[in-house]
Amino acid sequence: MFSIILFSNSANSCTTFCINTDNELVFGKNYDFDIGYGIVLTNKRGVFKTAFTNDNPPAEWTSKYGSVTFNQFGREFPMGGMNEAGLVVELMWLDETVFPSPDERASVGGILQWIQYQLDNCETIQEVIDTDKFLRIPEGSIPVHYLITDKYGNTATIEFLKGQLVQHSGESLKYRTLTNDSYEKSLEYAKIFKGLGGSRMLNGTTSSMDRFTTSCTMLNNYSKEQNGNAVNYGFEILKNVSQGRATKWSIIYDIKNMKVYFKTLENSNIKTIEFAELDFDCSDPVKMIDINSDAEGNIVPLMTDYNLQINRDLIEESYNGVEFTKDISGDKRDKTAEYPETLSCGR
C-alpha cells in the first residue's frame, strides 16, 4: 500500500526535545510544515489491526495501550503522540534516511503507521528499539527519524541509516533533542559553541544545526527555580526554535502528569488534554477534535465521536495542500480514509 508522500524543504524542519529533572518530565515538539490542518484523536486499546501495506508479511497486532495522537493524513497515521503508558513518539525529516530492504520481518504501512504501532504496543524506549527485530518500515518510505521518551525518563533517537536502525540513548545521548540532521552530525556541530564545549557564540538562525544547538543550550540552562515550571519553559524553547509561519503546531507532553498542551499557528490558545479524563476502552467511540479549534483550556468535553467523512475531508484537504500528494488518486485516498473501518475491537 502506498506511503504518504511528503517533500523536503525549509518548512519540513521540526524540532523536538525532552526536559528531564528529578520531578519533571516534559517533551516538546514544533511541527514545521506547509499545511496546518489536523485532528487530535483518541486511539483505543484492545483493537486488532492489520498493517495498511502491500508488503508481505503485513504486521498484525492488538493494541495494548490507548493513546492521543495528532493526525494530518488520516486516522491511524499520526505525526506523533503519547500513549497511556507514558510513551511519546515524534518524527522529523532526515534526508539521509535509508530504510531496510524487504526481508522476513513484518511490515507496517509507512513512517506514520510505525508511530501508531509503537504507541499501541510499547511502554519503554527499549521495547520500541526491540521491535526492529521483527518489524520494518517499507523501503523507500519518506525519510524521517524519531525522538522518543518513556515515563521512566529514558529518551532515544531512532534513525535508519544505510538500511540499519541506529539509536542513541543513555550515555550515548548527551543532549535530549533532535532536529533535521543525524544526531551524530548535530552533536559534532554543537561542540564548537560556548557552553557546549567550544567558544563560538550561538548563530541564532533557524537552520537544523542551529536549532539543535539552541535547544541544547536552553536545556542545559534550565532550572525550575530560575525558569519556572518545565511546561512553560518548554514553550519558551519552542518559541526560540520557531520558524515563524512555517511552525504550524507547538506541542508539550507533560509525561509525569499525563497531560498534553498544544497551540497552533491558526489558533494560539493553549488547549489541554488530561489522560485521566479519557476512556480508552475499545467498546466506546474514538473521540476527535479539530486541532485548530477556537477552544481554550481543557478540550476533552468538546471532543466528538469519530466521523468517517471528517477523516476523508481531512485527507482531501491535506493531500491537496502538499505538492507531492496532489496527484494521489481518489481511490487511494478513499482506502486510506476507510482503513479504520477494517479495525475490530478484539480479534
Q: Output the pLDDT for position 11.
A: 54
Which of 164, 125, 158, 130 has its CA nearest to residue 144? 158
Asked if 325 contacts 319 with a C-beta cutoff of 8 angstroms, the reply is yes
pLDDT tens figures, 137-173 = 999 999 999 999 999 999 999 999 999 999 999 999 9
Q: Give the separation between CA 121 and CA 114, rounded to whole angstroms.
A: 11
Beta strands 106-107 and 135-136 are parallel
- Computed over every residue of the chain, the mean pLDDT equals 95
pLDDT tens figures, 113-145 = 999 999 999 999 999 999 999 999 999 999 999
Would you list the domain boundaries of the chain? 15-181+226-345
- Mean pLDDT value of segment 227-232: 94
- Displacement of CA 213 from its chain's centroid (Å): 21
pLDDT tens figures, 26-51 = 999 999 999 999 999 999 999 999 99
What global pTM score does this model have? 0.96
pLDDT surpassing 70 at residue 3: no
Which of 259, 49, 64 has its CA nearest to residue 151? 259
Instruction: Provide the percentage of residues in the chain whose pLDDT is more than 90.
Output: 91
Of the ranges 131-135, 201-205, 217-221, 322-326, which one carries the lowest mean pLDDT score?
Answer: 322-326
pLDDT tens figures, 235-288 = 999 999 999 999 999 999 999 999 999 999 999 999 999 999 999 999 999 999
Q: Output the pLDDT for position 143.
A: 94
Q: Output the pLDDT for position 5.
A: 42
Question: Which pLDDT band holds residue 13 (cuts at 50, 70, 90)?
Answer: confident
The CATH T-level fold of domain 15-181+226-345 is Penicillin V Acylase; Chain A (3.60.60)
